[in-house]
Structure 1
Amino acid sequence: MEDMKLYDYADQYQNLINFMEENDYSFEEMKDTLESIQESAEGKVINIGKVIQKYQDDIKVISERKKALDELKKKAERNIDNLKQYGLVQMSRLDMKKVASPTLTVSIRNSKVMNIKDESKLPQEYITEKVENKS
């Protein structure tokens, strides 16, 4: 058996990590690759543990990035809602129903029908009376 240096083992395990990240591998392929690395059983188990730690660290980083991206998404959604509300208020205040440019059209659409369970709880500003004369 050829004498291998510590860095040779590190290279082999790095190659394994690269292989696993770049390919859709089967467990059998990973096992074959691990078995091809010539080192003591104890050393192999320790190095497999290091590979596992590397993936656990990756998962932690991915989770933290996902959390940060989720927060950015929520902030962007709030900004959109706030801008829509501001635009609606301004258009309503100026009695504008539609504004158009060559690249964008903004209009106020009729809102969706809502089923109100208790009309007495509605603010007065949302209540209008309609009188019809059926003669």
Structure 2
Amino acid sequence: MNLYDLTSNWQHVYDMDLDEDTWLDTLNSIDEEIDIKANNIGFLIQNLTADVEGYKKEEKRLADKRRVAENKIKSLKSYLQDNMERLDRKKVKTDLFSFNIQRNAPSLQLTDEQLIPQKYYTVETVRKYDKQAIKDDLKAGQVINGAELKTSQSLRIR
């Protein structure tokens, strides 16, 4: 029986009009089953948490490997381009690959931002709230329209 059904059964028995001994025995037996289900859920959560930690480590390991491969690609391209330029060869063609050195589209480099005319500036405003200050003021008893402190509950597993 699943936890939902056990909870429903417990509530149903709780609402029944039985003699006290039968009522307590039945509720206790359902409680024991609920404890077993909760224990199993705890083990499942513990295993999944360990899986998540393993996935995080693997993500980091793979990201590191990706960066190494990207750096190798960049280095090999630069190595080939440098040697082609030293030989004054703009093209190299093999049976499998064609290598060409060509001009890239122009890119902008700002050499002195102070000298750029004002008409090229845009103003971007980003509205951010200092949530910690709002929280502190609300805790101190201030009333702030549009904000309130909210208390919630969560399951803790030890």
**Range of TM-score over shorter length:** 0.5 to 0.7
Aligned to 1:102: 95
Q: Find the counterpart in structure 2 of residue 84 from structure 1.
A: 77
1:68 aligns to what?
A: 61
Equivalent of 1:51 in 44, 50, 57: 44
Are the aligned partners of 2:3 and 2:34 in contact in 1 as well (CA < 8 Å)? no
Percent identity of paired positions between Structure 1 and Structure 2: 28
Q: What's the secondary structure of 2:52's corresponding residue?
A: helix
Alignment correspondent of 2:110: 117
Quote the offset at 1:36 in angstroms.
7.7
SS at 1:102's partner residue? coil
The AA in structure 1 aligned to 2:41 is I
Provide the TM-score with structure 1 as the length reference.
0.58
Indicate how the Cα distance of structure 1 residues 117 and 40 shifts in structure 2: closer, same or farther if over 3 A, else same: closer
Report the Cα distance in structure 1 between the residues aligned to 2:38 and 2:2, rounded to whole angstroms: 14
CA distance in 2, matches of 1:117, 1:35: 64
Larger Cα Rg: Structure 1 or Structure 2?
2
- Paired residues in the alignment total 88
Once the two structures are superposed, residues 59-103 of structure 1 have per-residue CA deviations (whole angstroms, 9 ceiling, x without a partner) of: 111111011000000110000111111111100000011111121
Q: Unaligned 5+ residue runs, structure 2?
A: 7-29, 113-158
Structure 1 gap segments, 5+ residues each:
1-31, 120-135
Q: Distance in 2 between matches of 1:59 and 1:97?
A: 50
Distance in 2 (CA, whole Å) between partners of 1:47 and 1:82 is: 52
- Which whole-Å CA distance do the structure 1 matches of 2:33 and 2:3 have between them? 12
Deviation >6 Å, runs of 4+: 36-39
Instruction: After superposition, give the CA deviation of every residue in 1:6-64 in whole Å (9 maximum; x if it has no partner).
Output: xxxxxxxxxxxxxxxxxxxxxxxxxx755589971111111110001111111111111
Match for 2:94: what amino acid? S
Any idea what SS the aligned residue of 2:99 has? strand
2:52 alignment partner AA: I
Q: In structure 2, what is the Cα distance between the partners aligned to 1:91 and 1:45?
A: 68
